[in-house]
A and B are shown apart, each in its own frame.
Chain A
């Protein structure tokens, strides 16, 4: 190669590698993650959970799981937490946060019921049957719903979902849903979209929330989309591609 080493993009990038001197110390969050993982029992390897059972088998299994769930609940301390991020729900096809298929949903005040509907619609299992479902809270603070027994959250190292949202959480999820519907229905220009978002926030009584433009509208991204930044209490209006 005759390229000047100092101008080769790969060399330039490698020279900026921040991982040459990896510190031994972990962040507090990563120390906590490590401790949580090490405290999680190792499950025996099984392919049962990922193989869709037949409808007949499912009825039997569902009954057994329900019984086992009740028995386990009597003897297991289950940590429960409310969601901190009410704007999304994830429905998992198996009790496996890594390999399980999943469907992401927008906000809902009843994540288990919403995921149950996804199962019935065949989004997670083609025969449309619905297994026992358990709500947990994932690492992002959002609701995650898994099929399985009552201890499924504990086995995954997650807190159980404490059903119910605060009034403000319900209000912002409704505003989010309304704006998504409006913005999917027709193409809002940036100013109109911000005004609409402010109107919806006011109507919902969310006085401590703000709506801001992200100034990302372009010729290719001429229509409004909505983002909710829960921690900052901000509804942000951004440019997205038109629907068809």
Chain B
């Protein structure tokens, strides 16, 4: 193995270890349990093949953008398959596995509220809340304008606050 190859492997492994859990959690929130491994493997395989093109200071946004592409492709199915996917996605077993990004996290009303958001808003919450992307980074991942992301974040915050107010349970401790 050449020095270049060894360096590439070492740097890739470091990126893999730092990002596999967030990417797996993000993917689990967006596709069915049966598809998670496929999306995660494809994302990191793509990163291995294109490692030289990934900006060293923006590895995580690159990985999220790539995972999103794969998730979108995974959802492109013909009508016949959609009948099955629709069914599976309404299945409580699937819903339970879909919520596994919350594994190891204490139950909290805000998680229930976020789980009930639509896919786009839940994706936004995960990116900003748990994966700590800035609005500018989210804009680059989603190919949107930063201003649009800020407006969407504002609306999601309001929606969540309304939901928590209406149930009277924020889970907040005194």
Q: Which residues of A contact B (CB under 8 A)?
A: 4, 6-10, 12-14, 16-19, 22-24, 26, 29-30, 33-34, 37-38, 40, 42-43, 45, 85, 87-88, 96-106, 123, 138-140, 156-157, 176, 180, 183-184, 214-216, 221, 225-229, 236-241
Contact = CB atoms under 8 A, between A and B. Distances in A.
Interface of B: 9, 12-13, 16-18, 20-22, 24-25, 34-35, 37-38, 40-46, 48-51, 66, 69-70, 73-74, 76-78, 80-81, 83-88, 90-94, 102-106, 108, 110-111, 113-114, 125, 128-131, 157, 160-161, 164, 170-173
Contacts of B114: 9, 13
A102 B130 CA distance: 31
B93 A236 contact: yes
Contacts of B70: 97-98
A6 B110 CA distance: 12
Given A22-B21, A97-B45, A104 B81 contact: yes
Main secondary structure of the interface of B (DSSP, over half): helix
A100 B73 contact: yes
A176 B114 CA distance: 33
B108 A12 contact: yes
A10 B13 CA distance: 32
Contacts of A184: 80, 83
Contacts of A7: 161, 164, 170, 172
A227 B22 contact: no
A10 B129 contact: yes
Contacts of A157: 41, 45
Nearest to A93: B73
Given A13-B114, A87-B84, A227-B91, 19 more contacts: A6-B170, A7-B164, A12-B170, A13-B110, A13-B130, A14-B129, A17-B130, A19-B22, A34-B16, A37-B16, A85-B34, A98-B73, A100-B73, A101-B73, A105-B78, A184-B83, A214-B91, A225-B83, A228-B84
21 contacts: A7-B161, A13-B125, A14-B130, A18-B104, A19-B25, A22-B18, A26-B20, A33-B44, A37-B45, A38-B12, A97-B42, A98-B45, A103-B77, A139-B41, A157-B45, A176-B84, A180-B80, A180-B83, A226-B84, A227-B94, A238-B90
Contacts of B74: 104
